[in-house]
Structure 1
Amino acid sequence: MANLKELRNRITSVSSTMQITSAMKMVSAAKLKRAQDAITEMRPYAQKLEEILVNVSATLDASEGEYARKADNVQKVLLVAISSNRGLAGAFNANIMKAVSNEVSANSNVEYTVFSIGKKVFEAAGRRGLNQIGERNSIYDDLTFENVSEIAEMLMEKFRKGEYDRIELVYNQFKNAAVQRVQVEQFLPVREVEGGNSTSQTDYIYEPSKEEILEDLIPKSLKTQLFKALLDSNASEHGARMTAMHKATDNASDLRKQLKLSYNQARQAAITNEILEIVGGAEALNG
């Protein structure tokens, strides 16, 4: 059994850790509220924009658009991996890296390249020797639509130039504070419209033409798609960290109780031994 000094030091250490995890939990809870409001307000707009895109493009040949170019044989794929800049968020970052690794290992004939948004996936991809073209980890310092649009335009430019046959987003989709689901979502080329999505048979008069509307609408839709993915990931990060720190605080509390019990037992045993020594010495003197 550890001595009293060691137990006191461990109790102090665990108490300090519990204070840190409790504070981090409260900070993440406050940030989660703002991040959750942002993604909740964004989703209806993104969904409506996609519906408009579906209605306008339903009667057009999607293959004519520069963002709808589909390669007969996909050779180069860019994975936009979205993680966080900080850890202590449970399996939040590990799940992204696992999804990226699964994508790369599932198609050995395809050349994969990773573009990282978040320090954790950037560092993990580097350790695994994956091919990377850069990172944009500073986006979380000012997560706005304008800053995200710059990243989206860079990705669209690479696709237009034919550097990649397909671009995919890998991110955590926010469900609630305890549940985040990893999504591998096609970014470019523009996803095909399923036959059942557009039920309207009405002919509309467009001003300007459908082609001109799509020329402006598709880039805006792509920027919105990337912005929504980043907002999802941001909310998921704070939810995962809050849950992880809540569990860590509970575990630290249980460990502190066990250490205090061991400390009291050791202290009682020491007191009992001292009493026995005193009694034994007194009896020896009397004898």
Structure 2
Amino acid sequence: MANLKEVKERINSVSSTQQITKAMKMVAAAKLRRAQEKIVQMRPYSQKLTSILNNISSGAEGVADIAYAQERSVANVLIVPITSDKGLCGAFNSNVIKASNVVIQDHEGKAITVMPIGKKAMDFFKKQEYPLIFEYAGLFENITFDPIKAAAEFVMDAFVNGEYDHVVLVYNQFKNVATQLVVKEQFLPISKIESEGDDNKSQQDYIVEPSRDYIIEELVPNSLKIQFYKAILDSNASEHGARMTAMSKATDNAADLLKDLKLVYNRTRQAAITNEILEIVAGANALEGK
């Protein structure tokens, strides 16, 4: 049985850890509230803009040559895994890395390039054999539209110039505090809605002014930048939700461990007291025997 000093040190250590996890849970909750507001406000706008874009581009029928929708024989693939800069958020980062490896396996035999966003993805992929684009790994240091737009423009220009034939975003999509879904999203080329006969839900007839070509030329780049921005916001909200959940579980586990340690401490203390009493009684009996 452990001695009292060891058990007491363990109790103090677990108590300190519990205070840290409880504080990190509160910080994550505060950050989550702001991050959740941003993605909730952005998501309807992004979805509607993408829907309009897909409908217009699908109805173009060759009128407009959309550079970002060109489907080529896939030889060069760019994968953009989006993780966090920090850990202590459960399987948040490892799930993205696993999904990225699945995408790499799906494109076996192709030239793979990785553009990691977030220090955790950067730390993992810099140990791998794939070429890296590391200029945008620190986007989470300043989550504003301008630096994220620059990253999106870099990817879009590289696709148009033929450097990459297929671009995939891998990130956690925020559902709620306890649920984040790993998404493997085709960023480029943009997908088109195929005609489904008389189904007006998928195809809508828009009145386009001044012209379809002009609207597509203006709308497509902006829609792609918004889509990239939404992925970053989704990942940011998911990170704080995952960290809040992980720290909540860690705090609960620490409480259970403290309960067990205090029980061990009390039993050890009682055993020590009993031994002392027995030694005193034995000493008294020995003196009486003389």
What's the TM-score once normalised by structure 1's chain length?
0.95
CA contact (8 A) 1:31 1:238 kept: yes
CA contact (8 A) 2:58 2:194 kept: no
CA contact (8 A) 2:58 2:192 kept: no
Partner of 2:155: 155
Partner of 1:221: 223
Partner of 1:252: 254
Rounded to whole Å, the distance in 2 between the matches of 1:68 and 1:276 is: 87
Gaps of 5+ in 1: none
Q: Does 1:134 align with 2:137?
A: no
Q: 1:72-117: per-residue Cα shift (whole Å, max 9, x none)?
A: x211100011000000000000001001111112331211111011
Rounded to whole Å, the distance in 2 between the matches of 1:269 and 1:128 is: 55
User: What secondary structure does 2:138 align onto?
Assistant: helix
Rounded to whole Å, the distance in 2 between the matches of 1:185 and 1:8 is: 51
Partner of 1:105: 105
Residue identity over aligned pairs, in percent, reads 54
Q: Does 1:264 align with 2:266?
A: yes
| Residue in structure 2 matching 1:236, options 221, 235, 238 | 238
CA contact (8 A) 1:118 1:135 kept: no
Q: 1:186-223: per-residue Cα shift (whole Å, max 9, x none)?
A: 11111112324543346x3x332110110010000000
Rounded to whole Å, the distance in 2 between the matches of 1:177 and 1:135 is: 30
Partner of 2:37: 37
Q: What number of residue pairs does the alignment pair up?
A: 284
Rounded to whole Å, the distance in 1 between the matches of 2:4 and 2:209 is: 83
Output the amino acid matched with 1:279.
V
Rounded to whole Å, the distance in 2 between the matches of 1:199 and 1:130 is: 40
What's the TM-score once normalised by structure 2's chain length?
0.94
Deviation at 1:155, TM superposition (A): 0.7
Gaps of 5+ in 2: none
Partner of 1:84: 84
Rounded to whole Å, the distance in 2 between the matches of 1:131 and 1:25 is: 37
* Pairwise CA RMSD: 1.5
Deviation at 1:137, TM superposition (A): 3.0
Q: Does 1:172 align with 2:176?
A: no
CA contact (8 A) 1:178 1:239 kept: yes
Q: Does 1:275 align with 2:277?
A: yes
